[in-house]
């Protein structure tokens, strides 16, 4: 069964001057994770706001858990959880205060709301900070509390808008862990992100959007094959790169490309980290000195380049009949 | 029923904020007390010949000005919630559409009760002596409270359309100050130019001040509008104004809230 269905959603801002969603369609199978991948201004937040009933689309049709978001927004609100792009909690109150308040607004009794707050604070490793004002929280803690607030009623469908943007690597890993736990419990999740890596890590399916339209759809492997997957890149000290190139091709069974000037050798790999280790060993045995050694994963930019032939860019204004596009900063 | 319960949870949140940041409550009460003292001792000598002294006419003026400030406070509070994205979160919850805005007006109303009590005591200490009896005095305070509450709804609307808490607070004062000074609150309107007298005496702030003076047992003096509606029936006129303000801003606010968005 499809938990989320969006059909031909069109949404404009400023009386039609900005086209944010341009006939976008997608669906999410119950109990799975769909990642909506797109650059700044692609329409991710707009899509999440339409599906979570905060915004009415100009046209198109959408259901969440089988309920129409336009005809019965209240019905939808009863089964969803939403954690927006920026943490939306009361900063003067404590984490505990916030969760109890939201619990009561979900019509839990006082006791049930307090119990749920305790559970969630423990689940999200916030128990120690429970009675501190949110103002004193780090960015990662804020995001976790925001996520906790969206889980109070154990929603059937969860929307997360860029849950790790702005977090440091550790915060991002923690957030991924939390999200993976939720997915294991069976929640249907639609998550937006600008990072291919994140979509890869968390999602069953990935939809790539740009300028409010879906430009690619598939599993992470399908997309990566399309883009070209991981590459090992090595810069050697020796002016003669041939011995190194031979070793690399032998170890990786791949066709290397060589930049003689930079003394850089690059080769596609399937099992990145393992291969990298094997290459280092082989180099060590042969006494070859590598100046730089890296595993390159395809980025969103690579995806865009291979899907659209251009780097991601931001739509500035759409006037009837003509489109102006500006380069992304 | 659930709508009321949801609104009260929002009100409770506001009170909880006051316990977490007590400075807010301290300064919202210190400011009106300061006004009482300043006006009392700077202008106190002005109303020569008024029985009981100028302070008798002055206190209702300060009461009304202070509750009129609620407009700015409500607007700022709501705009802050918009800025922080809290309104988005509230709108994604299965609660009554009116809950968040009703809850905030009630919270600001409760705050006004505290403010009025403190100001009343301060006024008493500096010589304000209402002469009308307990019932009428209570009625006077009730009307002041209701006046602030109705303006709170204008503040809700301002907060919803603005996207910047500081801007909306400043803009609100741009309306409140002329209204309170082009009125009978601090000086009699009789000395103003004629055209201004008409404006000043029909001004809702003036009718409220006149109503409060009447309920506290003093008589307001009128100029060119001496036998007009606001001079004959300041209480009724004020009530009509309040109902009118709410009649305009409640539907506007609830409708606006439906599509409110933090960006
Ligand atoms: N309230 C608004 N008024 C006018 N234009 C808007 C508004 N909100 C979004 N837009 C425009 O609509 C387009 C889509 O915006 P949206 O916020 O959905 O993108 P996004 O994918 O979430 O971007 P980001 O990664 O920066 O969060 C952008 O061009 C944006 O400038
Ligand atoms: Mg966004």
Q: How far is A319 from chain B (nearest CA, A)?
A: 21
Is there a shared CATH topology between the A2-79+155-224+306-327 domain and the A230-296 domain?
Answer: no
- What local confidence, expressed as pLDDT, does residue B133 receive? 92
Yes or no: say if A62 and A9 are a contact pair by the CB < 8 Å rule: yes
Domain interval for residue B36:
2-44+52-259
**Contact: A90, B92; criterion CB under 8 Å:** no
Mean pLDDT value of segment B73-79? 95
* pLDDT number for residue A318: 40
Region of residue A125 (phi > 0: left; psi between -120 and 50: alpha; otherwise: beta): left
Pairing of strands A205-210, A33-37: parallel
A20 CA distance to ligand 1 centroid (A)?
6
pLDDT at residue A325 in the model: 41
Check residue A322 and give its pLDDT.
39
As to burial, measured by CB atoms within 10 angstroms (0-12 exposed, 13-18 middle, 19+ buried), residue A5 is middle
- Yes or no: say if A244 and A230 are a contact pair by the CB < 8 Å rule: no
User: Rounded to 5 degrees, what are φ and ψ at B146?
Assistant: -70, -35
pLDDT of residue A299: 66
Indicate yes or no: CB of A91 within 8 angstroms of CB of B92.
Answer: no
Would you call B49 exposed, middle or buried from its count of C-beta atoms within 10 A (0-12, 13-18, 19+)? exposed
Nearest CA in chain A to B16: A93
Q: Which of B16, B20, B94 sits opposite A78 (nearest CB)?
A: B94
Residue percentage of chain B with pLDDT more than 90: 61
Q: How far is CA A22 from CA A58, A323, B14, in A?
A: 10, 13, 41
CATH of A230-296, one of 3.30.160.110, 1.20.120.420, 3.40.640.10, 3.30.70.100: 3.30.70.100
A314 Cα nearest atom in ligand 1: 29
Distance set, CA A32 to CA A28, A183, A190, A204 (Å): 7, 8, 9, 6
Residues of B with CB under 8 A from a CB of A: 2, 6, 9, 12-13, 16-17, 20-21, 84-86, 88-95, 99, 259, 261
Q: From the alpha carbon of A38, which atom of ligand 1 is closest?
A: 21
* Whether the predicted pLDDT of B139 surpasses 90: yes
- Candidate of A13, A316, A319 to mutate for ligand 1, largest count of ligand atoms within 8 Å of Cβ: A13
Decide if the complex's ipTM is over 0.85.
yes
Listed residues: CB within 5 A of ion ligand 2: A 44-45, 85
How many CB contacts within 8 angstroms connect chain A with chain B? 69
Q: For position A329, what pLDDT does the model report?
A: 35
Residues forming beta bridges with residue A290, ordered by sequence position = A236
Q: How many CB atoms lie within 10 A of CB A131?
A: 11
Domain ranges across chain A: 2-79+155-224+306-327, 230-296
Closest alpha carbon to B2 in B112, B94, B77: B94
Neighboring chain B residues of A89 at a CB cutoff of 8 Å: 84, 86, 89
The pLDDT of residue A314 is 47
pTM, to two decimals: 0.84
Interface test with B, best of A92, A110, A150 (most B CBs within 10 A): A92
| Pairing outcome for strands A264-269 and A257-259 | antiparallel
Say which range, A152-166, A295-309, B84-98, B139-153, has the weakest mean pLDDT: A295-309
For ligand 1, is residue A84 a contact (CB within 6 Å)? no
Instruction: Say how far apart CA A265 and CA A212 lie, in whole Å.
Output: 38
Ligand 1 neighbourhood includes A126 CB (under 6 angstroms): no
Using a CB–CB cutoff of 8 Å, tell me whether A78 touches chain B.
yes
- Chain B nearest CA to A88, separation (Å): 5
Averaged pLDDT for residues B131-141: 95
CB contact under 8 A, B20 and A97: yes
Quick one: residue B47, left, alpha or beta (phi over 0 = left, psi -120 to 50 = alpha)?
beta
Question: Per the structure, how many domains does chain B have?
Answer: 1
The per-residue pLDDT for B49 is 62
CATH class name, domain A2-79+155-224+306-327: alpha beta
Shortest Cα distance, chain A CAs vs residue B220, angstroms: 44
Average pLDDT by consecutive 10-residue portion of chain A (329 residues)? Answer: 95 92 96 93 96 95 96 95 91 96 95 96 94 93 94 94 89 90 92 89 92 90 73 83 84 81 82 81 84 77 68 46 39
For B86, which of A74, A90, A106 is closest by C-beta distance?
Answer: A90
Nearest to B6 among A82, A97, A105 (CB): A105
Gap from A69 CA to chain B (nearest CA, Å): 12
Q: Do A106 and B91 touch (CB under 8 A)?
A: no
The rounded distance, in Å, linking the Cα atoms of B45 and B254 is 47
pLDDT score at B232 = 87
Residue B141: the pLDDT is 97
Contact check, Cβ <8 Å, A102/B13? no
Chain A nearest C-alpha distance from B35 (Å): 28
pLDDT of residue A151: 93
Pairwise CB contact (< 8 Å): B261 & A90: no
Please name which of A163, A155, A113, A58 lies closest in space to residue B9, comparing C-alpha atoms: A113
Higher pLDDT, B175 or B49: B175
Q: What pLDDT digit, counting tens, does each position of B201-256 carry?
A: 899 999 999 999 999 998 877 777 777 888 889 999 999 999 999 999 999 999 99
């Amino acid at each position: 069964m499809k938990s989320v269905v969006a059909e031909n959603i069109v949404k404009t801002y400023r009386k039609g001057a900005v086209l944010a969603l341009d006939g976008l369609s997608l669906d999410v199978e119950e109990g799975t994770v769909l990642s909506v991948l797109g650059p700044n201004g692609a329409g991710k937040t707009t899509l999440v706001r339409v599906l979570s009933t905060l915004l009415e689309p100009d046209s198109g049709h959408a259901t969440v858990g089988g309920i129409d978001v336009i005809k019965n927004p209240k019905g939808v609100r009863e089964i969803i959880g939403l954690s927006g792009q920026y943490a939306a909690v009361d900063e003067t109150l404590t984490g505990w205060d916030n969760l109890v308040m939201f619990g009561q607004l979900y019509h839990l009794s006082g006791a049930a709301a307090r119990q749920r707050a305790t559970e969630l604070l423990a689940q999200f490793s916030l128990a120690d900070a429970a009675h501190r004002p949110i103002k004193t929280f780090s960015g990662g803690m804020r995001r976790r509390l925001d996520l906790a607030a969206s889980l109070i009623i154990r929603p059937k469908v969860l929307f997360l808008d860029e849950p790790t943007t702005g977090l440091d690597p550790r915060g991002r890993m923690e957030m991924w862990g939390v999200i993976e736990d939720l997915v294991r419990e069976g929640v249907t999740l639609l998550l937006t992100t600008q990072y291919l890596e994140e979509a890869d890590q968390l999602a069953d399916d990935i939809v790539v959007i740009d300028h409010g339209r879906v430009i690619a759809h598939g599993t992470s492997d399908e997309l990566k094959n399309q883009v070209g997957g991981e590459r090992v890149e090595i810069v050697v000290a020796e002016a003669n790169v041939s011995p190194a190139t031979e070793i690399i091709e032998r170890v990786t069974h791949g066709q290397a490309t060589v930049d003689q000037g930079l003394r850089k050798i690059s080769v596609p790999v399937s099992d990145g980290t393992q291969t990298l280790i094997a290459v280092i060993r082989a180099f060590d045995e042969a006494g070859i000195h590598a100046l730089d050694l890296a595993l390159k994963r395809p980025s969103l930019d690579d995806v865009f380049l291979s899907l659209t032939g251009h780097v991601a860019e931001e739509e500035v204004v759409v006037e009837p009949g003509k489109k102006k596009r500006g380069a992304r900063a | 029923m659930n709508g009321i319960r949801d609104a009260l949870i929002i009100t409770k949140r506001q009170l909880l904020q006051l316990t977490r940041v007590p400075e807010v409550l301290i300064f919202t009460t210190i400011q009106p007390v300061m006004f009482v003292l300043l006006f009392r001792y700077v202008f106190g000598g002005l109303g020569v010949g008024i029985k009981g002294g100028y302070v008798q006419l002055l206190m209702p003026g300060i009461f009304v000005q202070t509750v009129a400030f609620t407009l700015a406070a409500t607007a700022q509070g709501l705009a802050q919630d918009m800025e922080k994205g809290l309104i988005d979160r509230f709108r994604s919850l299965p609660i009554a559409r009116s809950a968040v805005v009703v809850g905030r007006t009630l919270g600001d109303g409760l705050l006004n009760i505290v403010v009025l009590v403190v100001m009343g005591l301060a006024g008493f200490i500096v010589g304000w002596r209402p002469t009308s009896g307990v019932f009428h005095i209570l009625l006077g305070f009730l009307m002041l409270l209701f006046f602030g509450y109705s303006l709170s709804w204008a503040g809700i609307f301002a907060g919803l359309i603005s996207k910047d808490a500081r801007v909306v607070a400043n803009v609100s004062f741009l309306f409140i100050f002329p209204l309170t000074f082009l009125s009978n609150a601090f000086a009699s309107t009789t000395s103003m130019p004629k055209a201004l007298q008409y404006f000043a005496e029909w001004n809702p702030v003036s009718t409220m001040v006149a109503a409060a003076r009447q309920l506290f047992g003093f008589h307001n003096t009128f100029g060119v509008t001496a036998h007009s509606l606001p001079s004959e029936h300041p209480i009724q006129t004020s009530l009509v104004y309040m109902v009118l303000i709410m009649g305009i801003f409640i539907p506007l606010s609830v409708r606006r809230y439906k599509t409110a968005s933090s960006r």
